[in-house]
Chains A and B, each alone.
Chain A
Amino acid sequence: MTIYAAKTFSEWFADLQARFINDFITDNRWKFLWNGLGVTLKITAGALVIGVLLGFLVAAVRATHDKTGKLRFLNVLAKLYLTVIRGTPVVVQLLITYFVILAPLGVNEVLVAICAFGINSGAYVAEIVRAGIMSIDNGQFEAGRSLGFNYPQTMWYIILPQAFKNILPALCNEFIVLLKETSVSGYVALQDLTKGGDIIRGRTFDAFLPLIAVALIYLVIVLILTKLVSILERRLRSSEH
């Protein structure tokens, strides 16, 4: 304790500098973070696409069943999917996808992660979209049908554009969660951003700087994403007034 207290600020700063150089500069260790970030973004983007497509599809099935009573079989399938995915941890889903289903086939790990996270995210997107569809006044639906639009046309031209505007904040939230959830990719031997920080920690035995760096990078990405969505939101809303 007394030794610490005796340290001057300049000594402390010099120490930090040395650790920084050791953690990130020596042997180009920053590349662990840089490459990890690439993997994280790849997985997030891929999972996002799958999640949104799957989510809208499942939501369409569920909403159609709710509104018309048709598609009973598909609705049961969709419900089963939602129950299983939302009822089990994403890490377990990732491990099962990797070790049980895809590893024996020799599929690339990034692809495995994209599938696992995409299927997981799809369940949450589906319920968000369904809530959005159900939030639109039934009169909108009737107006579309009375003009002669069929069910899919009414959905596409009239219901979904309005629903999308309403669910944008919830969707943005889901994307943020997805980005952060990919930090468990290390479980299947993927070197994502979190794993990159962890590798540096293993080499330098310094936990503080690598982990803070990883946290900061996630934070910055989330801030950028939030900003983009709020711009989109404002633009969509401005069209109404």
Chain B
Amino acid sequence: MSTKKKKSKPAAEKAAEEKKPELEKAETAAKKPAEKPLKEKQPEPEKKEILEELLKPEETIEAEGGEMSESLIMVRNLEKHYGDLHALDGVSMNIEKGEVVVIIGPSGSGKSTFLRSLNLLEMPTSGEIIFEGVNMLDKHVDINVHRQKMGMVFQHFNLFPHMTIMKNVTIAPMKLLKKSREEAEEKAHELLRRVGLDDRAQSYPSQLSGGQKQRIAIVRALCMEPDVMLFDEPTSALDPEMVGEVLDVMKSLAKEGMTMAVVTHEMGFAKEVADRVVFMADGKILETGSPEEIFSNPKTEKAKQFLASVLS
């Protein structure tokens, strides 16, 4: 593609910019901290609108010049085939730093596949995923390093049953970030306190309820200090009375400015927390916009049908 040549330069720019958002985190608790410095650098007023329009692949390629160094994650024309099944059909999307993107759609629409493609748990057939300026699908990229910066929370928690909660949440920081035990456990205690489970540190996962397990799973991902959190239907396997406690943790994360991509059926969460809602069907992004736009004024027939069935 013609886009490839352009990629290397913005990647370097991006790296230089990386340090800035770190500082901002402390300054602004508000969402979208990335907007400010970018506007200072490249004062293009229409840029924001262009970003909103990025759903169509053709436009993306033309409009990219300026945006290349902006978004935390940029996905271009992602395709995934399982044999005859066309699970992802040219999906393009940008995720900005600090943004909460909620992906909704009927089952089999490819939303989970898309989310799992972002950290390459699913290997896309073709396309590009540029995370922090690096094309993850480049053969020379060490995917394990970049996965450390992308926390993932699964529908079925996937805690390690042979380890205590403390071990569950500290093993990755200790082995991968080479933190000392004290350092890792201090961070773990702090995060466990935040989700209200510090007293369960020495328990095993089998002793916890579903909601508690999922909160631990979130802490496990956060202990790696990721730049983005991916949630794959985090409340779908939970008993109804436990959904709230998990959503509360996610809401507080969003408030702190964590970049989040969430696949969920919790429309209430989407309305309340999302900066942007993306509607997917048949492996394509059909609509994208603010929660109000999507929920009160869906444009496509499929989105209308889907929303009618879930909101009733």
Contact = CB atoms under 8 A, between A and B. Distances in A.
B231 to A, nearest CB: 12
A15 interface: no
Given A157-B171, A239-B204, A241-B206, A146 B150 contact: yes
A241 B121 contact: no
Interface in B188-225: 204, 206-207, 220-221, 224
| Interface hub of A143, A145, A150, A165 (most chain B Cβ within 10 A) | A143
A241 B204 contact: yes
A149 B152 CA distance: 13
B7 to A, nearest CB: 24
B207 A148 contact: no
Contacts of A158: 160
Q: Which 9 A-B pairs have the closest CB atoms?
A: A148-B148, A143-B158, A146-B152, A139-B158, A147-B172, A148-B147, A150-B144, A148-B176, A148-B144
Given A143-B160, A162-B162, A240-B161, A149 B119 contact: no
B36 interface: no
A66 interface: no
A162 B160 CA distance: 9
Contacts of B161: 162, 240
A234 B162 CA distance: 14
B154 A142 contact: yes
B206 to A, nearest CB: 6
Given A146-B121, A148-B147, A149-B172, 19 more contacts: A146-B150, A146-B152, A147-B176, A147-B220, A148-B144, A148-B148, A148-B224, A149-B144, A149-B175, A153-B175, A157-B175, A158-B160, A161-B162, A239-B204, A240-B161, A240-B162, A240-B206, A241-B204, A241-B207
Interface in B145-165: 145, 147-148, 150-152, 154, 156, 158-162
A147 B168 CA distance: 11
A241 B204 CA distance: 7
Contacts of B221: 146-147
A140 interface: yes
- Interface SS of chain A: helix, strand, loop or mixed? helix
A143 B176 CA distance: 14
Contact of B162 (A145, A146, A239): A239
Nearest to B152: A146
B237 to A, nearest CB: 11
Q: How large is the interface on B (under 10, 10 to 19, 20 to 34, 35 or more residues)?
A: 20 to 34
Contacts of B160: 140, 143, 158, 162
| Interface hub of A139, A146, A150, A241 (most chain B Cβ within 10 A) | A146
A137 B161 CA distance: 11
B279 to A, nearest CB: 25
Contacts of B151: 146
Interface string B108-151: 00000000000101000000000000000000000011011011
Nearest to B156: A139
Given A145-B147, A161-B162, A241-B204, A139 B175 contact: no
A65 to B, nearest CB: 16
A204 B159 CA distance: 65
Nearest to A148: B148
Contacts of B158: 137, 139-140, 142-143
A165 B176 CA distance: 25
A111 B138 CA distance: 50
A150 B176 CA distance: 10
Interface in A106-155: 137, 139-140, 142-143, 145-150, 153
B145 to A, nearest CB: 7
A149 B204 CA distance: 21
Interface string A226-241: 0000000000000111
A139 B154 CA distance: 8
A145 B230 CA distance: 14
A162 B156 CA distance: 17
Contacts of A148: 144-145, 147-148, 172, 176, 224
6 contacts: A139-B158, A142-B121, A145-B147, A148-B224, A162-B162, A239-B204
Interface in B231-253: none
A22 to B, nearest CB: 56
Contacts of B150: 146
Nearest to B172: A147
A144 B121 CA distance: 11
B145 A240 contact: no
A149 B176 contact: yes
A46 to B, nearest CB: 30
A222 B220 CA distance: 44
Interface in A139-192: 139-140, 142-143, 145-150, 153, 157-158, 161-162, 165
| Interface hub of A139, A148, A158, A240 (most chain B Cβ within 10 A) | A148
Contacts of B207: 241
